[in-house]
Structure 1
Amino acid sequence: MMHIGVMGGTFDPIHLGHLRAAEEIYWALGLDRITFVPAARPPHKEEEFEASALHRYEMVSLATVYTPYFSVSPIELSRPGRSYSVETLREFRKLYGAENAIYFIMGVDAFLDIATWKEAQELLSLAQVIVAARPGWRLDEVERHMTSEQRQLLGNPRFEYVKISAITRETAKAHHEPRPVLLVEVVSLDISSSEIRQLVKEGRSIRYLVTDTVAAYIGKNRLYCSGQKLIGECEAST
């Protein structure tokens, strides 16, 4: 039996906070691998991305290339239309079959909006949902922030708050109905993609916020540089 983590996101750009959360969950659950899935056109984000889907895919590839149990999937880039997580999980379920376990990893900020996602109740049935802590968000307040209408739309899931050190495979794959949503405390690095993009615009360093491979890619392709910047100014960010 295989245990596969799926971590979706816009990754504009991917940073060390994403990677550290995935690393901790990988080891705590004893997963076989974690696949990062860059979103091409997520329906819950109307703004244009500053980096194209292909650039974001390449950055995730560069960030994970030296970690054998991390991989990146172009599944949402190659699928036309909006990027719906439920469709992605259906495809992963077909790929790995019912006999293998799938874990869908997401941040707490995304989970609090999940009731608005397409077929959210089915999404929770397709995989074990792991909600990871993010700076500025308290996992122990997730249930309090959810309305009764949101709970109903999700099929009234049960929540289980656990520390990363307390998770085992048995905890994660418990076959209760409905399957519990695991609220997981991980080392929460106070890094955001929007702040990284702003630093690049200002010509400031992003070292130790992203991998060196991602920093070099951003500099080489002049990503996140505003049109007013002088030639060569953005290179200072790498």
Structure 2
Amino acid sequence: MSRPVIGITCYVEPAKFTVWEMTAALLPYMYVERVSRAGGQPVILPPAGDPATVAGRLDGLIIAGGGDIDPARYGSPPHDQTGYIRKFRDEAEFRVLRAALDAGMPFLGVCRGMQVLNVARGGTLHQHLPDIVGHSGHSPAPGTFGRIPVRLSPTLAKIYEAEEVTPAHYHHQAIDRLGDGLAVTAHADDGTIEAVELDGHPFAHAVQWHPEADEHAPVFHALVTAAARAARARRR
């Protein structure tokens, strides 16, 4: 049986590799490994042209982590800690997300991906979480993951086979006002919303943490399983 094709959005940033230093479309390889190990065929989706046009060729979609969303999209002025805004990436990801959700495609949002989902549904963001929770544990230092326990709803607990997990965190923003149709599926003890799902969708989950950085990442298996199921249904 062919592997379900999982599109993963990516960064466009200056990069250095072998003898070259230039702008590159890039993605932490952990995403590729997790999707492949789960039985999916990963395909990287750069923010070029209109990625929504390829949505019909995908069986599932992941919006990956990255820089901050332009606060103008949710009607807020920028905080002085808001950064790494890439408006071209915002435009591409909001378009491909709309296409995927309209098609009922299995979807997983990771970190920034959860924020894209929330803003796309009319929600807003806390632009600098330490201002709200009084600590920097969700993003303790540049390039360093934090470890904060999160309590899971029954839906997500079924996927993780646990009521609480301590995953890798690296985010300084989080959901403020919840978007339309979203249900919270995980909280940190400080009140931060750490996961959501879209009501009425076959599989649309998003987590604020970085499951790709954890060896135990059942949410990728759940996504690939849902994508394989959807692909089989289309072929009938």
Structures share a fold, TM > 0.5? no
> By percentage of residues, which structure has more strand?
2
Structure with a larger share of its residues in helix: 1
Larger Cα-atom Rg: 1
- Please give the TM-score of this superposition, normalised by the length of structure 1: 0.32
TM-score, structure 2 as length reference: 0.32
